Amino acid sequence: MSRVVFFGVDLHGHVNPTLGLISKLVERGEEVIYYCSDPFREKIEQTGASFCSYRGLLSFGRHNGTGIETLLVFADFLMNKCRILVDALYDEIYQLQPDYIIHDSFCLWGKELAIGLNIPGIAVFANFPFIDEMAQKDPAFFMEYVLLASEEPFYVKHKGQHDVYRKLLDKLARVIALKYGKQSINVINDIFCSKEGLNLLFTSREFQLHEETFDDTHLFAGYEVYPRDEPVDFPYELLDGRPLIYIAFGTILHNLSDLYQTCFDALRDSDYQVVMSVGIETDSSICDSAPANFIVRPYVPQLKLLSKADIFVTHGGANSIYESLCNCVPMVVMPQVFDEFMGALMVEQSGAGVYIRNKMPSAEELREMIRQVKTNPIYLDNCRRIKQSFEAAGGLNYAVNEVIHFAKQKVCHE
């Protein structure tokens, strides 16, 4: 039995995809110590792992800025958190004497602590995988779908020049070097991905954009839904057998009242029954204006609803998209922030749903997209195809075998 320390990010979309992996490691006899923030303690302990708190030192959130500005701010955030957490946790991790470290790709401190302790490190991509090699092949994709900088003056001025992406990253690398003393750093691979000798991707090559840019240090394990205990009081008895549409826009944004109203207007008096999750911080009065065919709740048991849903109207977060695919539920994707735009493009290119590019579509546009997805069987067929590709990738047992093999092999070589 080996002891492994796992460093996570305190966001549901990053914790949830790791729970199955952790559970499988525990089943194999590995002792797992999982670092995260306190609200995730119960969910993590249900896997059999031991929970350790960041003690308030980590708090991921949202920055309201432009694409390029957000890149700068987030890189600085990760570097600063790395410095703080390495200083705060080094002695503690040293005392634990782990055999290896697994960390979320955003957790640069996991990589630094593995290096400092001279033990194997493994990165886990809980979000949509994006690496520098993808941007090298298609710089415009990075600027427009990752940074969302298509309308920024800097990009508009230099659009079409293939060195814009690299000049931007080189400039940011110089800023990082000046502030943090990190020389010759690749901002994407070293900061945003914390790439290791083994990098786990919870997806398949069939669903990955530019999959050919990922070398053999990247293990495509597919995606398996880990059953979550969601003690949510939901009125299942109200589900009456009509075609079911599930609507949810994630746990980060809470100022989407206009978008919710668009959903009301699009589906009011339709033949569908609709369940909408609006988040715990949204004004509860939104429930009072819901049409009769809607069930609106601050939080709903997503996995159970996806098992019953015919269509998922979603913001396009990684957790939501992968869980929808595993349940073979076609999607209407309306991305709002971050990598949701990349997720929407992946859904569109795979044919598993449609991508509404207007962040605030009209009720008519939304209604038509839902009709299109519901009436054309190709979307359901493509969901089934992608689900099969997840299963064929090998799954969590395969991932755990490779993790244990990599850790032991690396120790032997050292």
| 53 and 198 share one domain | yes
Q: How many CB atoms lie within 10 A of CB 412?
A: 7
| 326 and 364 share one domain | yes
> Domain with 339 in it: what CATH number?
3.40.50.2000
Nearest CA-CA partner of 351 in 207, 183, 156, 244 = 207
DSSP 78-129: HHHHHHHHHHHHHHHHHHH--SEEEEETT-HHHHHHHHHHT--EEEEE-S--
Is 231 part of a structural domain of the chain?
Answer: no
The CA distances from residue 101 to 26, 35, 123, 212, 228, in Å, are: 14, 11, 9, 27, 24
Is 328 part of a structural domain of the chain?
Answer: yes
| 192 and 293 share one domain | no
Is 30 part of a structural domain of the chain?
Answer: yes
Is 291 part of a structural domain of the chain?
Answer: yes
Nearest CA-CA partner of 353 in 393, 385, 312, 293 = 312
| 189 and 271 share one domain | no
Is 69 part of a structural domain of the chain?
Answer: yes
Nearest CA-CA partner of 336 in 359, 358, 370, 354 = 359
| 379 and 397 share one domain | no
DSSP 279-337: -TTS-GGGGGG--TTEEEESS--HHHHHTT-SEEEE---HHHHHHHHHTT--EEE---S
Q: Which domain holds residue 67?
A: 3-135+185-222+393-413
| 266 and 192 share one domain | no
Residues 351 and 369: beta-carbon distance below 8 Å: no
User: What pLDDT, on a 0 to 100 scale, did the predictor assign at position 354?
Assistant: 98
- 224: CB partners within 8 A, 6+ apart: 20, 326, 390, 395, 396
Nearest CA-CA partner of 350 in 375, 331, 365, 364 = 331
Which pTM value belongs to this model?
Answer: 0.92
User: What pLDDT, on a 0 to 100 scale, did the predictor assign at position 59?
Assistant: 87
Q: What domain count does the chain have? A: 2
| 407 and 373 share one domain | no
User: What pLDDT, on a 0 to 100 scale, did the predictor assign at position 411?
Assistant: 61
Q: What is the pLDDT along the chain (414 residues), one digit of tens a residue?
A: 899 999 999 988 899 999 999 999 999 999 999 999 999 999 999 999 999 999 999 988 655 555 677 888 889 999 999 999 999 999 999 999 999 999 999 999 999 999 999 999 999 999 999 999 998 888 888 888 778 787 877 777 777 765 788 888 898 999 999 999 988 899 999 999 999 999 999 999 999 999 999 999 999 999 999 887 777 889 999 999 999 999 998 766 567 888 999 999 999 999 999 999 987 776 777 778 899 999 999 889 999 999 999 999 999 999 999 999 999 999 999 998 778 889 999 999 999 999 999 888 999 999 999 999 999 999 999 999 999 999 999 999 999 999 999 998 866 555
Is 350 part of a structural domain of the chain?
Answer: yes
| 129 and 254 share one domain | no
| 370 and 310 share one domain | yes
| 370 and 406 share one domain | no
User: What pLDDT, on a 0 to 100 scale, did the predictor assign at position 287?
Assistant: 77
| 253 and 192 share one domain | no
